Amino acid sequence: MSDDGAVGGAGGGDARGDDTVDGGVDSVTLEVIRNGCEAVAEEMNATLVRTGYSPNIKERRDCSTALFDAAGEMIAQAETMPVHLGAMPYSVAAAVEAFPPETLDPGDSVLLNDPFRGGAHLPDLTLVTPIHDADGEDVIAFAANRAHHADIGGSTAGSVAADSTEIYQEGLRIPPVKFEAGTGAVAEDGAPEGEVREDVLSMILANVRTPEERRGDLRAQVAANATGRRRFRDLAAEHGSDLAPALEEIKDYSERRMRAELAALPDGTYEFADALDDDGRGNANLAIEVALTVDGDEVTVDFTGTADQTDGPINAVLAVTASATYYAVRCVTDPDIPPNHGCYRPIEVVAPEGTIVNPRPPAAVVGGNLETSQRVTDAVLGALAEAAPEAVAAAGQGTMNNVTLGGRDPRGDDPTPYAFYETQGGGFGGRASGDGMDGVHVHMSNTLNTPAEVLETAYPLRIERYELRPDSGGAGEHRGGLGLRRDIRVRDHTARFSLLAERHESHPYGLAGGVEGANGAAYLVDDDGDELEKLPAKHTRDLPAGSVVSVRTPGGGGYGDPADRDVDAIERDLRLGKLTPEAAREAYGYEADDEGETADGDD
């Protein structure tokens, strides 16, 4: 990384077109090893989800896993969270810088979450585990995973405070630290054994509201990397001397395919500007400006002109900005390109220091990972829409709609602290091939919702209402996806509530003549669901027992001229209640009677 925040664009793989590598690995063996690495990463993720303790890991799957080679370059990842996966290489690089491979013993692992040393935001804890050769002498790879912990301390339960102004308020900040120490012993399968350092674990647990939940999720992270270490050692034993050259060729292969995809785009500079509504501290309409230059088989994405870093918690560290940029570029290239270090080599990110896409410490950053990453994605895709119009969807909801609630659970004889965190789905943008998806997590978030049954069992909360928002998707030949409404009641206690959301003022954009999607909103509502008070998009307050907060998420933008929408699609939306008769008339010039029965109307 240069001083001006430029990353990527480094040289790397060769331009060979034959089917072998320098070590003589044939193409069949190469594919076996590549798919084997991907299988290891997927099994790591399955282990993390199945052994996770909190609903945030077990149900929402807010976690990611990946494999890295001995140089700390990513070679395979599970199909999980985009915002984690493009940023995780920064965490591995920070871990390797703090603990060079020659200083790591079999059974060691390194933990970190510091956003200014390879992390993203404090709730995301990354565990990096070296994988040694059969003799335990040399590091041949790294297993890494990242999990969003539902509380890591800080001023607000859930550690996603909408009113933070510096990172010290956001929770426990962990630089790279050795979390497990090798014992020198080996398990029955020959894998090295490590022990969690109790001093480090005790320090973490003393600073969080839900220590047993944190202990359980950290154990799951250890188990996931143990799975990766074991499976990769099996792969190494099977392929021997072919493994190392194959890992290099896997990266070079991805680079060649990415360069070919970029070379097919028309050369030129494509500009797009979008903005964050506000930072919750009175600073509004914060610009994110992109100048995307395609030059042959390389692309440079320059954020010069973007707003300066700000007081509120919506600053995104460079790792997050790069992650969103890589993701957006991958959206318009062949999805079958193996995602690894090689496919990022032709992409350069220029993010000036001191801006909301590359802030200086001690900036508050918790929402940068969540909200600004989404707007960076919107802006880069907006620029790419000019270069590859049919490959880019209209804007999705553009927010993760972060909700946290915390307090003391009144159920039982001894009320104990709890911390609830989740993101809310919304509308995906319409695209050239069809309508946007309804009520999903879009772009940088790829999690699930917390099922109502799980939420109500684990927390003193109740879901009063959960439904799609009719008419929220932008009109177009292909309609934008619908947003959601989710009403949550606080039961029998006072809860600390925080909302960190976007697109309450601005709207997700449409493309190719499509209409923008509906924006989001949040309210306190009464027992009948009627609105009592509109809430700011960045907001923290205490909610007394019985309060009901209603979060309404944005819809996606539409794609194509609404006049070109198929009549059958309009009638289907009316039958399913996704479109009201009034909206059908206004958006599409289509008449339906009061009962929703359809009948062709005049334009």
Q: Give the residue from 238, 254, 270 where a domain finishes.
A: 254
Q: Does residue 446 sit within a domain? A: yes
Structure tokens at 234: 């099996």
Q: Does residue 367 sit within a domain? A: no
Q: What is the pLDDT of residues 516-548, one digit of tens each?
A: 999 999 999 999 999 999 999 999 999 999 999
Q: Does residue 435 sit within a domain? A: yes
Q: Does residue 268 sit within a domain? A: no
Q: What is the pLDDT of residues 207-243, one digit of tens each?
A: 999 999 999 999 999 999 999 999 999 999 999 999 9
The percent helix, strand, coil of the chain (3-state, each to 5) is 30, 25, 45
CB 177, CB 200: distance < 8 Å:
yes
Classified as helix, coil or strand, 298 is strand
Task: Decide: residue 219, CB within 10 A, 0-12 exposed, 13-18 middle, 19+ buried.
Answer: middle
| b/e 108-146 (16+ beta carbons within 10 angstroms → b) | bbbbbbbbbbbbbbbbbbbbbbbbbbeeeeebbbbbbbb
Domain count, the chain: 2
**Which residue, among 454, 436, 373, has the nearest Cα to 54 in the 3D structure?**
454
Q: Does residue 355 sit within a domain? A: no
Q: Give the residue from 222, 254, 286 where a domain finishes.
A: 254
Q: To 5 degrees, how large is the angle CA 470–CA 472–CA 478?
A: 100
Question: Cβ neighbours of residue 81 under 8 Å, at least 6 residues apart?
Answer: 62, 63, 64, 146, 444, 445, 446, 447
Q: Does residue 229 sit within a domain? A: yes
Please give the Cα distance from 169 to 153 (Å, whole number). 9
Please give the Cα distance from 99 to 80 (Å, whole number). 27
> 463 lies in which domain range?
393-565
Q: Does residue 269 sit within a domain? A: no
**Which residue, among 406, 522, 525, has the nearest Cα to 458 in the 3D structure?**
406
pLDDT confidence tier of residue 173, bands split at 50, 70 and 90? very high
Please give the Cα distance from 22 to 15 (Å, whole number). 13
pTM of the model: 0.93
CB 165, CB 365: distance < 8 Å:
no
Q: Does residue 307 sit within a domain? A: no
Q: Which residues pair with 112 in a beta bridge?
A: 126
Model confidence at 248: pLDDT above 80: yes
| Percent of the chain clearing pLDDT 70 (strictly above) | 94
Q: Give the residue from 199, 232, 254 where a domain finishes.
A: 254
Model confidence at 297: pLDDT above 70: yes
Please give the Cα distance from 6 to 12 (Å, whole number). 17
Q: What is the pLDDT of residues 381-424, one digit of tens each?
A: 999 999 999 999 999 999 999 999 999 999 988 899 999 999 99
Question: Cβ neighbours of residue 58 under 8 Å, at least 6 residues apart?
Answer: 49, 50, 52
